[in-house]
Amino acid sequence: MLDAVHRSLGPLLPRGSLASLASLLGLVGLAALAPACAASSSTDGATGVDDYTSKKGKLQLVVTVDWEGRDLRDDNLHAMQDLHAKFPQVKIVHFLNAGYFTKHGAVASDVAARMKSAIEPGDEKGLHIHGWKRLFEAAGVTFRGTPTFWGTNLDPHGNECIEDCGQEVPISLYTSDELRKVVKLSLDTLEANDLGRAKSFRCGGWMAKPNVRDAVAAEGLTYEHSAVPTVFLQEKVGTMPLYGWLDELWKGTTHVSQPYAIATATTGLTEVPDNGALADYVSTQQMVDTFEANKALYLQDRKKNVVVSVGFHEETAATYLPQLEAALTRMYDEAKAEKIPFESVTSEALAAAQ
C-alpha cells in the first residue's frame, strides 16, 4: 500500500527522508531497541466457545502491516512492539519488503535485526513489493519511473533517484517475467535473513493486476491480499491516477467482501480482500463500522467464517497505531459482550469460498 506521509505530502518527502537512511538502517545502535516482550500469542482470545464448538464458524480478524521498504525508525518499531504487548492475542500478518536490504550502505544483519524486533513467533511473514529502483536493479530489471500513482514521472538519472526512488511506481508496469525476478530476489533475501519465505502477498499501492498475480503465483505464493474497497481511499487520493486504476481493478470490492479463488496463468490464488483498508485511510469509527458489518454477515449464518481485515504501515505505525488499537479494543469488547467467536488469524486459516 502506500502510507499517509507519502500520500499527503506527495513524492517529495520520501526522497528527502532517504538522506537519513544510513542512520536509520546502519548506524543506530540496536542496543537502544527494547526487545519485543509480548507474551505468547498462542491463545486466540476467542470468545463464545460454546458458539464456536456447536456452530463451527468464526468471525476472523486479520491484522496486517505493510512494510514499505523506505525506513525502519525506532518510533515506528516501538509502536509495533507496543501493539504486541497490548494485544498478545493478535497475530500480525507482516507484508515484508526486501527493499530495506538494497538501500545504499545497508547492513543486512542490522536491517534484519530491526525488522525482527517487531515480529513475534505467532505472526505471519508475507511479502510486500514497491517499485524501488535499487530493488528492481538488484534483480536485474531495468527501472521504470513513469507513470507514478500521482501522475508524475521519475527520472532514473535525476537527483530524486540518487539514493533510491520508485515507491510510488506501480509494479504492474513490469512484465510478469520481470516481476518474477523481483519476487524471487525478495523471497530469497528475506529467507536468507531468517525472515521466512512468504506464502502471502500484498502489492504496493494495492496494484496487483493480473500480471502481478501471475508472477507471485508462479513463485509459489498462495494468498493475495490487495483487493481493496476504494470507497475508503476516495477522500485522500480520489483525484490521483492511482484511484482510477484501483477503482477499475477492484470493482465490486466492498467492506464485507470475503476471500475468493482467483485464477492466474499457473496455480490459483486465494484473494483476501483488505476489506477494512489501512489505518492511514480510515478512522477508528470506520474500522469498527467494518467490524460490525462483517459481524452482521457472520450472524446471518454462523456456520461460515467471516473475515474482517484491518491494518497499518510500518513507516507510519507510531502515528496511526493508536486509532487501530482503539478500534481493536472496541471490537474485542463487543465480541466478548455478545459472545461472538472472534479470533485473530493468519492467512493459512483463510479459505476461499467454494
| CA atoms in the 13 A half-sphere facing the CB of 159 | 3
**Judged by CB under 5 A, does residue 218 bind Zn ion?**
no
SS3 of residue 40 by DSSP: coil
- Residue in the block written with cell 516482550: 37
User: What binding mask, one character per residue, do residues 157-186 give for Zn ion by CB under 5 A, x or -?
Assistant: ------------------------------
H or E element, residue 110: helix 108-116
**Which of these ranges, 157-165, 185-193, 203-211, 334-342, lies near Zn ion under the rule CB under 5 A?**
203-211
CA 167 vs. chain centroid, Å, equals 14
- Cβ proximity to Zn ion, 14 vs 341, nearer residue: 14
**Which of these ranges, 32-40, 64-72, 186-194, 342-350, lies near Zn ion under the rule CB under 5 A?**
64-72
Q: Give the phi and the psi of residue 73 in degrees, each rounded to 5.
A: -80, 150
Q: How far is the CB of 243 from Zn ion (least distance, A)?
A: 15
**CA neighbor of 63 nearest in space, from 48, 45, 37, 50:** 45
**Judged by CB under 5 A, does residue 131 bind Zn ion?**
no
- Cβ proximity to Zn ion, 164 vs 343, nearer residue: 164
Cβ 312 vs Cβ 320: under 8 Å: yes
**Which of these ranges, 119-127, 202-210, 223-231, 279-287, lies near Zn ion under the rule CB under 5 A?**
202-210
Hey, what's the cell of 256?
464485507
**Judged by CB under 5 A, does residue 274 bind Zn ion?**
no
- Cβ proximity to Zn ion, 24 vs 59, nearer residue: 24
Q: How far is the CB of 228 from Zn ion (least distance, A)?
A: 11
The number of residues that bind Zn ion (CB under 5 A) is: 4
- By CB under 5 A, name the one of 1, 129, 233, 237 that touches Zn ion: 1
What's the rounded Cα separation, in Å, for the pair 257 and 187?
28
**Judged by CB under 5 A, does residue 271 bind Zn ion?**
no
Give 127's strand partners. 96, 201
**Judged by CB under 5 A, does residue 119 bind Zn ion?**
no
C-alpha angle with apex 73: 68 to 74, nearest 5 degrees?
A: 140
**Judged by CB under 5 A, does residue 66 bind Zn ion?**
yes
Q: How far is the CB of 9 from Zn ion (least distance, A)?
A: 16
SS3 of residue 199 by DSSP: coil
Q: How far is the CB of 242 from Zn ion (least distance, A)?
A: 12
Cβ 279 vs Cβ 320: under 8 Å: yes
Q: How far is the CB of 274 from Zn ion (least distance, A)?
A: 11
If one counts every other C-beta atom within 10 angstroms of the C-beta of residue 78, the result is 18
Cβ 221 vs Cβ 314: under 8 Å: no
Q: Of residues 2-21, which lie at the interface with Zn ion (CB under 5 A)?
A: none
Q: How far is the CB of 37 from Zn ion (least distance, A)?
A: 27
- Cβ proximity to Zn ion, 279 vs 335, nearer residue: 279
Residues binding Zn ion (CB under 5 A): 1, 66, 68, 204
